[in-house]
Structure 1
Amino acid sequence: MDKVFKSFVKIIVIVLCLSLLSGCWSRRELNELLIVLGFGLDWENGEYLASYQVVNPSEITAQKRGGERPPTTLYQGRGKTMLDAARSLTAEAPRKVYMGHLQFYVISEELARRGIAEFIDNALRDNEHRMDFKVVVARDMKAEDILKLYTPLEKLPTNSMLHSLETSERNWAPTISITLDEVLDRMSSEGIELALTGIKLIGTVEEAERKKNVETFQPSSRYRYKGIAIFRGDKLVGWLNEKESKGYTDITDNLESTSVEIPCGPSAYTGVEINSSEAEIKTKVVNGKPEATVYIRSEGSVNERECDSIDLMKPSTIKLLEEQTAVIIRSNAEAAVRKAKSLRSDCLGFGIHFAKDHAPYWKEVKKNWNNEHFPSLKVQYKIKMKIRKTGTTGNSTLNPNTGG
C-alpha cells in the first residue's frame, strides 16, 4: 500500500512540474500589441481625448534606413471617462495597446487646470502601467500636438524628450523630472503641493509632423521645456518663470548644476558654474506665527571671464564673486517663495517641516495652511557660496578686447 501511495505522489509531482512548463497563461506576442511610448491627454468638447504614441518597429531597426513611414503612429480615442476613451480606441487601432513601456505622459494645460486626480487614479489602477514614466504639462497648447513631432538625433520623439528633461534637470536648473509615483506621493502628502515641468512647441504643428522638419540644420518646429507648473490640490494654478524655477529647484534641494552670470561691464559677464548645492529648511513658531529659515550652501567655479578688470589671482576678487553669486541665489529663492505665496500653493514644502518639527501647531493650521498661514510665513535666507576653482592657474593671457 505504501508503494502505491508513493507512486501516486510521484505522479502528482510530475504532473505539477509539467504544468509549470506550459508557459505563461497571459502571454501575448509582440506582433499582437501596439507598444505605447508616449501618452497625451486633452479635454475637448466635454470629453477626454486620449492620444497614444505607438512605435513602428520596422522603422527604427538598425538595418532599415530612410523608411517612408514615421517612427511612431498616433492613435486616439474619445470618451466621457478615461475608460470610454481607451475603449473607443479599438475602433481604429488594429491591435491592443500595451502601456508597459510608457515613457512620457503629457497633460494639456486646460485639463491640468480642471484637475488631474481622476485620470491619475485611473493610471494607478491599470496593472500594465509602470510607475516610472515622466509626467509633464503641455503649456498653452494641446497634449496631442507634443506627440506629433519629428525630432532630430533620436528617431523616437519620447526618447528625445525624456533624455532632454533628465539632462536639463541635472545641468541647468529650471526643470524638474517627475515620475508618476512622485506625483502620487506629492498629491497624497500634507504640507507640499505638486509641481511639474512645462513643455511647449516652438513653430507650428503642421511643420512639426512633417518629415521635412528634421531635414534642415535647425528644425522649423521643436519642443522646449519652459517653466514649472504649480498645483494646489490637483489643479494647476500658475507657472514659475525661469528665475523662480531656479529658486524652486534650489530650495527643494533638487539642484545639481547650473550657471550664474554676474555683470562686470555694460554688456559683459563673469560666468560662475555651480556644481554642488545643498539646501535645508528650519522652522519655528514664534507667538503662534510660523517662521522659516532657508539655508543654501553652494560650491562652484569660474568658467567664463569677459572683463579684464576681473583679476582672478586676487583673493578679494574671489570673495567678491562669491558674495555676488550668493546675492543672485538668494534673489532666485526669494522670487520662488514670493510667487508660491501669491499662488497660495506651498509647492516648496515648508509645511512638511512644520508637520515634522511642530506637530501640535501643524494640526491646528494644516486645513488653512495654503490660504492663510503660508502666505504670511516669515522667511529668512542664509546663503553660502564657495568658489573652488577659477578654470585656469591664473588670469587668461588673451586680451578680451582684441581676441588675442
Structure 2
Amino acid sequence: MWRQFATCLSIAASSLLCTGCWDSTEIDRLSIVTMTGVDLAEDGQSVLGSVQIARASELGTTGGGSPSTSTGSAKAYLVESAEGPTEIEVISKIRASLPRKLFMGHRRVIVIGEEYARRGVGQLMDEVVRNPQSRLRTYVVVAFHEQAQKMLQVPSDLNRLPSDAIVEMEQSGSVLAVDARRFAKQLTSHSDPYTMGIRIFTNEMSEASPEALTLENIAVFRRDKLVDWLQGPAAKGFLWVSKDLREDSETVILPDDTGKVSVRLGSVRTSHHVVVIHGQPELYINLHTIFDINQNASRLNLLRPSNMSMVRQALQAKIQSEITAAMQQLQRDQSDPLGVGNELFKYYPALWRRLEPRWRDMYANMPVHYNIDVNVRNAGLMSSL
C-alpha cells in the first residue's frame, strides 16, 4: 500500500512540472504576415514599410470542401503600412496599430522597392538576419521601377495570396531563386548580390484581375546598392551561368531563311573558374547543354546530321551571344555577382591582397573566355513537309 501511495505521490509531483505550451497563441489571435515590402518614404530618408497579412478566416474551406474565398480575391489578405526612421520602428508602428499579435514566422517573400535598393539594403538584411521570427528561406525580390508597397496589393488569379504565386514562380526552375540566406551570404562575401526583379504587367485577357505580377529582369548590386538591371538577352545570359536555370525553351532562326526550330532544355551544366596568367586574372566560362526538339517549323529534314548540326550551331551562337551580353554589362557596371573576387580570395590569397584596392577597375577589363557545348537530340520521325 505504501508503494502505491509513493507512486501516486511521484506522479502528482511530476505533473506540476508539465506546464504545457505556456507561451502558445491561438491562430485567431495572430496577424500572420505572408509578405513584406520596404520603400523609401517621400522625404527620401525615412522607411516606408508594408506587410501583407493573411485573413485566416477567409483561407479555410466550406463544408463541401470548396474554398470559402474565391481564387485571387483581395478579401484573403490585407496590406498595412507605416513610416519610421528604421525598419524596426516601422514594424513596431504596424504592430501597435493592429489588434492582434504580428507574426513574421510565415513570411515567404520580401519585396524591396527600387529607390530603397539603390540607397542600400545593408540595414534591411541586418534586421532580417537578427529577427528571431524571420525565416532565412524567405525569397528576396526587387520591384522593377516601382514601389514595393504597390506590389503587395496586386492579387493573383490562381492563388488566394500573392505571396504564394511569387513563391511558385521562384520554384519553377526558369528564374533565379534567391532567398535571404543566399542574399546575405553574397552581401558579406567578396562578391556582389543579385536577385530577380518583380514587375506589374497589364493582363488584358483577364477581366477579374487587370494587373498581375511576373518575375522578370535581374537586379545586380555593387556591394549593398542596386546598380543596374539585366534585361532581355543579358538577363537570359546571366541565367545560363548562374546555375539556377532548370526549365527553358528556345526558338532559333536558321540561316538562309530555312525557318525556325524550337527546342526544350534537357539538362545544363555550367562552371566558371579564374586562371592567373602573368599575374593577371582571366575568367573561363564553360557551359554544356542538351536540348530536345520541340517543334520543327523549318524546311529541313532534321534526320540528316548536317541539318542537326545547323540547329546546334544556331543554338550555340545564340547562347554565347546572351552570355557575352551579360558579362559585358556586368563588367561595365563593375558588379561581380558570379563571385570572381571570391575565387581569387580563396585560391590566390596573396594575389588578392595585392589586387583588392583596384579590383573593380581590373575586373572591368578582365578577359573572359567562353566554351559553349550544345547537343541536340530527339529529332523524331517526321521530316519537313
Tell me which residue corresponds to 1:246. Answer: 236
Alignment of 1:2-401 (within 5 A): 15=13, 17-44=14-41, 45=43, 46-63=45-62, 65=68, 70-167=75-172, 170=173, 172=174, 175-190=175-190, 192-203=191-202, 216=207, 219-264=209-254, 268-308=259-299, 310-369=300-359, 371-390=360-379, 392-395=380-383, 399=385
C-alpha displacement of 1:12: 7.9
Unpaired segments of 5 or more residues in structure 2?
none
TM-score (norm: length of structure 1): 0.86
Aligned length: 372
1:283-340 C-alpha deviation (Å, 9 max, x unpaired): 22122211121111111111121112x1111011112211221111111111111010
C-alpha displacement of 1:19: 4.4
The change in CA–CA distance for 1:60 and 1:385 in structure 2 (over 3 A counts) is same
TM-score (norm: length of structure 2): 0.90
Contact between 1:150 and 1:214, CA under 8 Å: does it hold in 2? no
Matched residue SS, 2:341: helix
Matched residue SS, 1:216: coil
C-alpha displacement of 1:224: 1.8
Contact between 2:35 and 2:51, CA under 8 Å: does it hold in 1? yes
Which letter maps to 1:62? T
The change in CA–CA distance for 1:236 and 1:268 in structure 2 (over 3 A counts) is same
Which letter maps to 2:240? D
Q: Which moved more, 1:107-116 or 1:142-151?
A: 142-151
Tell me which residue corresponds to 1:402. Answer: none
Q: Which moved more, 1:141-150 or 1:23-32?
A: 23-32
Matched residue SS, 2:276: strand
1:62-87 C-alpha deviation (Å, 9 max, x unpaired): 21545797110111222111121111
Identical-pair percentage: 24
Matches of 2:158 and 2:258 in 1, distance apart? 34
Matches of 1:120 and 1:133 in 2, distance apart? 12
1:340-394 C-alpha deviation (Å, 9 max, x unpaired): 001101112222322333222122223432x22111111111111111222x223
Contact between 1:151 and 1:214, CA under 8 Å: does it hold in 2? no
Which letter maps to 2:161? L
Contact between 2:201 and 2:211, CA under 8 Å: does it hold in 1? yes
Which letter maps to 1:281? H
Q: Which moved more, 1:134-143 or 1:252-261?
A: 252-261
Contact between 2:242 and 2:338, CA under 8 Å: does it hold in 1? yes
